[in-house]
Amino acid sequence: MTRPLALLLALLATVLSATAADPTRPNIVIIFADDLGYGDLGCYGHPNIRTPHLDRMAAEGMRFTEFYSAAEVCTPSRAALLTGRYPIRSGMCHDQFRVLRNGSTGHLPAGEITTAEALKARGYATGCIGKWHLGNWMNNPAGHPRKHGFDFYFGLPHSNDMNLTPVAPKGAGKLAEQQAEWWNAPLFRNEELIEQPADQTTLTRRYTDEAVKFITANKAKPFFLYLPHTFPHTPLFASKDFAGKSPRGIYGDVVEELDASVGKVLDTLRQEKLAENTLVFFTSDNGPWLIMNQQGGSAGLLREGKGSTWEGGMRVPGIAWWPGKIKAAQTQRTLACTMDLFTTSLKLAGANVPADRAIDGLDIRPLLFGTGTVQRDAYFYYRGTRLMAARAGDFKAHFMTQAAYGQAKHEEQTPPLLFNLRVDASETFNVATNQPAVLSQIAQAVERHKIALQPAPSQLVEAVPAPEKK
Ligand code: MG
C-alpha cells in the first residue's frame, strides 16, 4: 500500500470511529441500586411504588425472574459484580465485619481485574458514578476507583450511613424523618472532596446529571458507565420534586426518584442515537434491609432480605435493555447473576476473559439475544466466607441457616434443608426427605466448587476491613 493511501485510510478510520457507533464495541451501562428488594418495582409486582421508566425498560427488553447478586451485603456484592468472581476468591468478604467500614484501609486487591480495566484496554471510556464501597481512599489511596480502571469518578466512597455525626440519635437510619446534620457523608469528584456532609437530598439527581454528562461527552467512543446509586440504602433522602409524593412513603419517594433517573439515562441514549448500540442492565446489590422497618424495602414473596442467604437476601430485580438486539417484552426464567455481567461485558467488547484465574460469571449473551441456553453447574450462596446454600436447577439446599440480618450465629443443617424454588419461591416447605437424589446432586456440585476454589484464597488479609474508627 502506498503511503498516501495508508494515511487516507487511517484518516477515514479516525473520522468513522469518531462519528459512527462501533458495533464491535457496544456501550455498556450497569445501573446498580443499593438494597432494592425483589418486590420493590411495579414490574416485579409492587402495588403502589410507581416505576414507569423501569416498567417501560422491562417492556422494551428482558426481565429476569431468577437474577442474583453474588452476596447478601454491599462490599462483596460489588467486588463480585466488577470481577466476575465469588467474593471468596478476591478476599472481599469478612465473617465479622461483613463490609468495609468508614475506617477500613482494606480495598479491592490491585491484582483483581475489573470490568472497567478490561474495557479500558479495549479503548472504552470508563466512568463510575455513585457509591463505591470497595475501599475508602481517605484511609488508603489504593482503594480509589481510578486505581481500578475507571477514568472518572463521582460519588461517595461507602454507604451513606457510615459517618454519623455526634448529634445523630440512636437508630437514626430507621427514622422516617431524616435530618441532614446527622450524616457526614463525603462527596468526591475524582480525588477531590467537593462536599461534606454531602447534601443527600441531591445525590440521585446529581448522579443522574453526571451520568448524562458522561454519556454525551463520550458518545463518539465506546463507554462503560457503572452507576451504583446510593439509595434506597438508609438514611433515605429524596429531592423536593419527589419527597412526600409516593403512597409508599419516603422509601417509595426514593425508589420513584431512582426510576426517574433510569428514565433520564435511557432518554439520553435515545436522544444521542446510542440506544441501539448500548446494553443497559439494571439490578440491585442485595435484598431489602428489613431491619430498617418502614425505611426498608420488600423482597415480595421471597423469604428474608439483606444479610441473609434466603432468597430475599440475594435474588434481586434484573432488567436488560438493548433496542434492536434484545427483543421486547421478554421474561427470562433462567438463573443469571451479577458476575455474568463481567464476562458478558467483556465478550461484547471483544476483550479476553482473564485466563490466569477462575472466573465464575458466565457469558449470558445466548439468554439476552435468544440464541441458546447457558449451562451452570450450580449457584452458591455465601455469607462472608461461609458457604451457606447452593442451588442447582429448581432446588436449593441450605447447609447452614441463620434467622436474620444481625445474627452471626449459624446453625448447621444436617441433613440440609431443601426447597423447590419453582413451586415454593418463599422457601417454606422443606422437601429434603423426599429428594435424596437431588441432595446428592447438589452435594456433588458443592464438592466440585470446593475443589475449584483451591488453593485457598491468599488475599483475605489484604482486604480485611479494619474496625470502625471511633
Ligand atoms: Mg447494599
Q: Where are the domains positioned within the chain? A: 24-166+173-369, 379-463
The three three-digit cell numbers of residue 13, written as one number: 478510520
Contact 138, 161 (CB under 8 A): no
Is residue 445 very low, low, confident or very high in pLDDT (cuts 50, 70, 90)? very high
Q: Please state the three-class secondary structure of 123-192 as a single string.
A: CCEEEEECCCCCECCCCCHHHCHHHCCCCEEEECCCCCCCCECCCCCCCHHHCCCCCHHHECCCEEECCE
Cα 294 to ligand 1 centre (Å)? 17
Contact 286, 69 (CB under 8 A): yes
Name the pTM for this structure: 0.94
According to the model, what pLDDT value does residue 142 have? Answer: 95
Most confident region among 299-313, 407-421, 444-458 by mean pLDDT: 299-313
According to the model, what pLDDT value does residue 151 have? Answer: 98
pLDDT score of 420 more than 50: yes
Helix or strand holding residue 278 (H, E): strand 278-284
Cα 288 to ligand 1 centre (Å)? 8
Task: Measure CA 419 to chain center.
Answer: 26
Cα 306 to ligand 1 centre (Å)? 7
pLDDT score of 462 more than 80: no
Average pLDDT, the chain: 92
pLDDT score of 288 more than 70: yes
Is residue 464 very low, low, confident or very high in pLDDT (cuts 50, 70, 90)? low
In the predicted model, what is the mean pLDDT of residues 111-134? 97
For residue 304, what are the contacts with CB-CB under 8 A and spacing of at least 6?
Answer: 287, 290, 310, 311, 312, 313, 404
In the predicted model, what is the mean pLDDT of residues 57-69? 98
Sign of torsion over alpha carbons 99, 101, 105, 110:
positive
According to the model, what pLDDT value does residue 174 have? Answer: 86
According to the model, what pLDDT value does residue 468 have? Answer: 55
pLDDT score of 206 more than 70: yes
In the predicted model, what is the mean pLDDT of residues 291-300? 96
According to the model, what pLDDT value does residue 18 have? Answer: 46
CATH second-level architecture of 24-166+173-369? 3-Layer(aba) Sandwich (3.40)
Cα 417 to ligand 1 centre (Å)? 26
Cα 32 to ligand 1 centre (Å)? 10
In the predicted model, what is the mean pLDDT of residues 241-266? 98
**Lowest mean pLDDT segment, chosen from 137-151, 218-232, 454-468:** 454-468
In the predicted model, what is the mean pLDDT of residues 269-286? 98
pLDDT score of 460 more than 60: no
Q: What is the largest CA-CA distance in the chain?
A: 78
**Lowest mean pLDDT segment, chosen from 93-107, 237-251, 300-314, 425-439:** 93-107
Cα 75 to ligand 1 centre (Å)? 8
The three three-digit cell numbers of residue 307, written as one number: 444479610
What residues have a C-beta under 5 A from ligand 1, the ion?
A: 34-35, 74, 285-286
- Residues 369-403: tens digit of each pLDDT: 999 999 999 999 999 889 999 999 999 999 988 76
pLDDT score of 12 more than 70: no
Is residue 231 very low, low, confident or very high in pLDDT (cuts 50, 70, 90)? very high
**Lowest mean pLDDT segment, chosen from 29-38, 86-95, 434-443:** 86-95
Share of the chain above pLDDT 90, in %: 80
Is residue 410 very low, low, confident or very high in pLDDT (cuts 50, 70, 90)? confident
Cα 465 to ligand 1 centre (Å)? 17
In the predicted model, what is the mean pLDDT of residues 448-465? 70
Cα 74 to ligand 1 centre (Å)? 4
Is residue 22 very low, low, confident or very high in pLDDT (cuts 50, 70, 90)? confident
For residue 114, what are the contacts with CB-CB under 8 A and spacing of at least 6?
Answer: 82, 83, 108, 148, 149
Query: Could you give the CA distance from residue 83 to residue 117 in angstroms, rounded to a whole number?
Result: 10
Most confident region among 97-101, 328-332, 381-385 by mean pLDDT: 328-332
Query: Could you give the CA distance from residue 150 to residue 145 in angstroms, rounded to a whole number?
Result: 6
Residue 61: name the closest of 255, 265, 266, 252 by CA.
266
Contact 126, 116 (CB under 8 A): yes
Cα 233 to ligand 1 centre (Å)? 6
pLDDT score of 412 more than 60: yes
For the annotated catalytic residues, the residue numbers are: 74, 133
The CATH number, out of the four listed (3.50.50.60, 3.30.1120.10, 1.20.120.1200, 1.10.3720.10), of the domain defined by the range 379-463: 3.30.1120.10
The three three-digit cell numbers of residue 272, written as one number: 444521542
According to the model, what pLDDT value does residue 403 have? Answer: 62
Is residue 408 very low, low, confident or very high in pLDDT (cuts 50, 70, 90)? low
- Secondary structure E strands in 365-454: 379-383, 386-392, 395-401, 411-420
Cα 414 to ligand 1 centre (Å)? 30
Contact 5, 256 (CB under 8 A): no
Cα 307 to ligand 1 centre (Å)? 9
According to the model, what pLDDT value does residue 273 have? Answer: 97
Strands 152-155 and 315-321: unpaired
**Lowest mean pLDDT segment, chosen from 40-49, 169-178, 210-219:** 169-178
Cα 77 to ligand 1 centre (Å)? 8
